[in-house]
Amino acid sequence: DAGITQSPRHKVTETGTPVTLRCHQTENHRYMYWYRQDPGHGLRLIHYSYGVKDTDKGEVSDGYSVSRSKTEDFLLTLESATSSQTSVYFCAISEIVGTFNTEAFFGQGTRLTVV
Partner 1 sequence: AQSVTQPDIHITVSEGASLELRCNYSYGATPYLFWYVQSPGQGLQLLLKYFSGDTLVQGIKGFEAEFKRSQSSFNLRKPSVHWSDAAEYFCAVVPPTGAGSYQLTFGKGTKLSVIP
If we measure between CA atoms, which residue out of 88, 91, 87 comes closest to residue 24? Answer: 91
Residue with Cβ nearer partner 1 (83 or 99): 99
- The type of residue at 36 is R
Q: Is the torsion defined by CA of 27, 101, 106, 75 positive or negative? A: positive
Minimum Å gap between C-beta 16 and partner 1 is: 28
Minimum Å gap between C-beta 108 and partner 1 is: 5
Residue with Cβ nearer partner 1 (85 or 94): 94
The SS3 of residue 41 is: coil
36 touches 46 (CB < 8 A) = yes
Minimum Å gap between C-beta 61 and partner 1 is: 12
- Distance CA(41)–CA(34), nearest Å, equals 15
Minimum Å gap between C-beta 52 and partner 1 is: 15
Binding site for partner 1 (CB under 8 A): 31, 33, 40-45, 48, 50, 56, 58, 90, 92, 94, 96, 99-101, 103-109
Q: At 84, phi and psi to the nearest 5?
A: -70, -10
